Chain A
């Protein structure tokens, strides 16, 4: 299989007044190109799922949205990504506040080897979001409640974060991300390392979080995409093939590659 020449994304990739706008984004790892001219808008307070077979570039694209690809030396990003109308790749933009606004939850839960309290409190501390211990306590409690973890850990806030179960650790990471009050949450296959029950809890959580945050979630599981998202974007070999309402993508996809993927012919 090779990339499609002169491809234009099918469906509704663009919209008015979007939270995050990507235009003609290309990503190169050294000489090799990984993302080919992707243009996509992510609307405020929606959950958009990025799906596609392994190696199709969905994680790479996601990482562009909060400039995590900057940490990889050979990675080169061209094109434009606007957050509320401001180009995040402008030379004068500081990545530090950007990453506080656009948070990320990773595939494998990675709590800091500190207490649960300190895990959540770290972000607010370094960004100066709490002026007193009382404020910090409040932020920690609110984040843990929003992440659905408060009842389980409220008696052991000073126990190490690494002592929790996998599902709890991932919810801890979500709480940690929420604690810095972001506007967008990027999730890179957040449930792939978890058991079904923990996965269900997190999917429930994503639905609740939609009220306050914009969420982009990369997922390998089509069922999960169907359950949690309003719109779905299908990637294939670094190109954005189709973007449509989730129902439409999974019942009457417009592009033949999308259909081939969701019917299981490859992927």
Chain B
């Protein structure tokens, strides 16, 4: 069949097979990419969730213990110091010695090591809350040591993989059979700060630190970013200096974040003397990092305001300032807020710059001011992931789940905000 004998229609028909094949191939590639991406996501989340969900449950021993007033040497009218310093640990040890009758010092030590070191503070908390309970018998869920916790959650069918001795296992099985040993929701994870003991370690310090740091970041970067965007878009004269400023701001958005940490170390800590490891200096460093994002998205939002609104305002006799603040800014604000939320979500997950300014320290206390030393959630995850203990592995994954939860919430809020406030004119 020669070309000359085919009409145009026939030539088009002849090419259809090849064109359809190309389009089908493209569609297949597209679907395959999306599916691959989703598969990776599923694997990632699956891995994190499988390791992390157990972190939200904690093994406890329900027991009835008498708050012996003579042993503790306190009563309902003792002052707070005496209540705090009473020997709760000793009381717990005496209670279990009586209950389980261990023979010999080695067995006694094994018995006591199964209860968490923090159990004493649990009792202390109960007494401080209600000193009238002294002398009474109370039921309390004592937190168990992380070895017991891991055994109960993961190793019960696998007795070889635990460090616990046979005697300890026999006691534990007795408690399991009687129903005294069980798991409950791990409130300690959310209430406590960091700790050497995994069963007492929590993310409260990290979350408070993250919150304070992000607060400082927002309070500094939002006004400065918005003002800079307005100035550059509306008021800056179009000369060489403005161009240089614009180019530099755009470049800063791509600078590796650890550089900001070095800057923070050199300038804020060494020159201005801000104390290390505080949300204040962390917030200052993260402000530098999120400013380019806010400025760039702010300028885009301002550019998107239609010029007809500006002309209407100017035509009425509004000054430039009035036009910008009464008309342009309210219309550009949703876009700016979206950009800010995205910038904050980025800052939430940043670790590298904060390491450089010292937020990597082992901080136990929950910070209450922006000048208290603290850590942030990503750094806490980093610190725990370094630890070889199994209990910390599951807590690392648990903390990652909490961090991911915050990020998803913030990004969803940004998307919803953008969709709701789009195109109001």
Which residues does A use to contact B, with CB under 8 Å? 66, 68, 71, 73, 96-100, 103-104, 106, 108, 110-113, 122-123, 126-127, 162, 173, 176-177, 180
Query: Given contacts A110-B312, A113-B309, A126-B318, could you give 9 more A-B pairs where the C-beta distance is less than 8 Å?
Result: A96-B317, A99-B317, A106-B312, A112-B309, A122-B318, A122-B326, A123-B316, A123-B317, A176-B316
Determine the distance from Cα of A176 to Cα of B318 in the docked complex, in whole angstroms: 13
Q: Is the Cβ of B316 less than 8 Å from the Cβ of A100?
A: yes
Q: Is the Cβ of A100 less than 8 Å from the Cβ of B317?
A: yes
Q: Which of B295-354 contact A (CB under 8 A)?
A: 306, 308-319, 322, 326-327, 331
Q: Is the Cβ of A113 less than 8 Å from the Cβ of B425?
A: yes
Q: Is the Cβ of B308 less than 8 Å from the Cβ of A127?
A: no
**A96: which of B311, B312, B318, B424 is its contact (CB, 8 Å)?**
B318
**A106: which of B315, B326, B331, B425 is its contact (CB, 8 Å)?**
B315
Q: Is the Cβ of A71 less than 8 Å from the Cβ of B316?
A: no
Contacts of B11 in A (CB 8 A): none
Contacts of B9 in A (CB 8 A): none
Q: Is the Cβ of A126 less than 8 Å from the Cβ of B322?
A: yes
**A104: which of B315, B319, B326, B425 is its contact (CB, 8 Å)?**
B315
Q: Is the Cβ of B317 less than 8 Å from the Cβ of A173?
A: no
Determine the distance from Cα of A123 to Cα of B309 in the docked complex, in whole angstroms: 14
**A99: which of B308, B316, B331, B424 is its contact (CB, 8 Å)?**
B316
How near does chain B come to A142, taking the closest CB pair, in angstroms?
17
Determine the distance from Cα of A104 to Cα of B311 in the docked complex, in whole angstroms: 9
Closest 5 CB pairs of A and B: A100-B317, A110-B308, A99-B317, A104-B315, A110-B312
Given the contacts A110-B309, A112-B309, A122-B326, A99 and B315 also touching, CB distance less than 8 Å: yes
A-B interface pairs (CB < 8 A), number: 61
Q: Is the Cβ of B316 less than 8 Å from the Cβ of A103?
A: yes
The digit string for B385-406, where 1 denotes a CB below 8 A from any CB of A, is: 0000000000000000000000
Contacts of A162 in B (CB 8 A): 425
Tell me if B19 is interfacial: C-beta within 8 Å of chain A: no
Interface range for B:
20 to 34
How near does chain B come to A264, taking the closest CB pair, in angstroms?
32
Contacts of B326 in A (CB 8 A): 122, 126
Tell me if B238 is interfacial: C-beta within 8 Å of chain A: yes
Contacts of B317 in A (CB 8 A): 96-100, 123, 126-127, 180
Determine the distance from Cα of A162 to Cα of B308 in the docked complex, in whole angstroms: 13
SS of B interface (majority): helix
Q: Is the Cβ of B327 less than 8 Å from the Cβ of A106?
A: no
Contacts of B322 in A (CB 8 A): 126
Determine the distance from Cα of A113 to Cα of B333 in the docked complex, in whole angstroms: 14
Determine the distance from Cα of A106 to Cα of B310 in the docked complex, in whole angstroms: 12
Contacts of B327 in A (CB 8 A): 112
Given the contacts A106-B311, A108-B308, A112-B309, A122 and B316 also touching, CB distance less than 8 Å: yes
How near does chain B come to A140, taking the closest CB pair, in angstroms?
14
Q: Is the Cβ of A68 less than 8 Å from the Cβ of B308?
A: no
**A110: which of B238, B311, B318, B331 is its contact (CB, 8 Å)?**
B311
Q: Which residue of A lies closest to B424 (CB)?
A: A113
Given the contacts A112-B309, A162-B425, A73 and B316 also touching, CB distance less than 8 Å: no
Q: Which residue of A lies closest to B237 (CB)?
A: A73
Q: Is the Cβ of B319 less than 8 Å from the Cβ of A96?
A: yes
Q: Which residue of B lies closest to A107 (CB)?
A: B308
Contacts of B316 in A (CB 8 A): 99-100, 103, 122-123, 126, 176-177, 180
Determine the distance from Cα of A71 to Cα of B315 in the docked complex, in whole angstroms: 11
Contacts of B331 in A (CB 8 A): 113
Q: Is the Cβ of A68 less than 8 Å from the Cβ of B315?
A: yes
Contacts of B311 in A (CB 8 A): 68, 71, 106, 110
Contacts of B425 in A (CB 8 A): 113, 162
Determine the distance from Cα of A123 to Cα of B424 in the docked complex, in whole angstroms: 22
Determine the distance from Cα of A98 to Cα of B314 in the docked complex, in whole angstroms: 11
Determine the distance from Cα of A68 to Cα of B323 in the docked complex, in whole angstroms: 14
How near does chain A come to B326, taking the closest CB pair, in angstroms?
7
Q: Is the Cβ of A177 less than 8 Å from the Cβ of B315?
A: yes
Q: List 25 A-B contacts (CB under 8 A).
A: A71-B310, A96-B317, A99-B315, A99-B317, A100-B316, A106-B311, A106-B312, A106-B315, A112-B309, A112-B312, A112-B327, A113-B331, A113-B424, A113-B425, A122-B313, A122-B316, A123-B316, A123-B317, A126-B317, A126-B318, A126-B322, A127-B317, A173-B312, A176-B312, A177-B316
